[in-house]
Homo-oligomer: A and B are copies of this chain.
Amino acid sequence: MGHEFDTATAVTRIDEADGRLTYAAEVFDGWDIGGLANGGYLMAIAGRAIADATGRPPLTVTAHFLNPGLPGQAEVVVEPIKQGKRLATAGASLRQGDKELIRVLAACGSATEELPVLVDGAPPELPPYEECPAEDSSSDPDAPPAMGLTMPPPGLMERLANRIRPGDDAFRYGRATGRAEIAGWFAFRDERPVDALALLLAADAFAPPLFNLGDLVPNWVPTVELTVHVRGVPAPGPLRCRFRTEYVTGGLLSEDGELWESNGTLVAQSRQLALTPRS
């Protein structure tokens, strides 16, 4: 342990009955967006319990978001579904009291060492980490006051050392780029290495790209479902991430993410379905 992400996602097996494993957990303060626990963080807690139950790291994880998570005690119930040679499948429910926060379905296992056969895509082009603005600074010296000055800054951003591609923070200053895309670097503030569990967090650790579209007021974007495919364990260093929304129709929106390690290998893909925020 030692890193705050590990402390904040720790689980302890407390019971085993009817083929289900129950884990004590805690939703920690400071991994939230405006007071509500970040969805990727909740997935990482459930993911850690699933990894413990199956003995393998998560490979593909789908979470349905049911109720907001608040700081305090929590419980993960894991149902092992299939223990195969290459993969193990399990379900999980993360709860606080009588409220279920997320329901998860996951396959665990690892990518092999096989050489890539097809890479029909590329990491986002980003200036070096040091040249990208931090979450609490602006890439535009003439920018009006940030939303952060009137809204409490997200607690999650104090745990992370993310850097946004210059210009992609425009939405914070009421100057949306007009393009539903946000790219940047993902890293932990305490330089914890990124593993499969951390990729679940990283897949949900940037502002919704929808905010840069400009047609909708930035507002809570309720995720219905988020699926993360872990494609590899990143080498040390910040991740290059890109999130895009292509379709906002019928009160729903999709958001696709790609996470690449610094040397240019894809390490995760994500897709979520969310409800269009009400303005």
Residues of A at the B interface (CB closer than 8 Å) are 59-60, 62, 64, 66, 81-82, 86-87, 89, 91, 100, 103-105, 107, 110-114, 116-121, 180, 213, 215-216, 224-225, 227, 229, 231-232, 244-254, 265-266, 269, 271, 273, 275-276
- Shortest Cβ gap from A210 to chain B (Å): 8
- Is B246 in contact with A117, judged by CB distance below 8 angstroms? no
- Is A251 in contact with B112, judged by CB distance below 8 angstroms? yes
- Is B120 in contact with A103, judged by CB distance below 8 angstroms? no
- Is B112 in contact with A247, judged by CB distance below 8 angstroms? no
- Is A227 in contact with B227, judged by CB distance below 8 angstroms? yes
User: Which of chain B's residues have a CB closer than 8 A to the CB of A81?
Assistant: 64, 66, 100, 103
- Give CA–CA (A118, B89) in the complex, Å: 36
User: Which of chain B's residues have a CB closer than 8 A to the CB of A213?
Assistant: 117-118
A contact patch SS = strand
- Is A117 in contact with B215, judged by CB distance below 8 angstroms? yes
- Shortest Cβ gap from A174 to chain B (Å): 18
- Residue from B86, B224, B229 within 8 A of A273 (CB atoms): B229
- Residue from B110, B120, B276 within 8 A of A114 (CB atoms): B276
29 A-B pairs with CB atoms under 8 Å apart are: A62-B105, A64-B107, A66-B82, A81-B100, A86-B275, A87-B224, A105-B105, A105-B225, A107-B225, A107-B273, A110-B250, A111-B250, A114-B251, A116-B249, A117-B213, A117-B215, A117-B276, A118-B213, A118-B245, A118-B253, A119-B248, A119-B249, A121-B246, A121-B247, A231-B247, A231-B252, A232-B250, A247-B266, A249-B265
Q: With A273-B60, A273-B229 as given contacts, are A111 and B254 in contact (CB-CB < 8 Å)?
A: no
For A61, the closest partner residue in chain B by CB is B225
Given A64-B105, A111-B249, A119-B247, 16 additional A-B pairs, CB 8 A: A59-B273, A60-B225, A81-B103, A86-B275, A91-B103, A105-B105, A105-B225, A111-B250, A114-B250, A117-B213, A117-B248, A117-B276, A118-B245, A118-B253, A231-B249, A269-B271
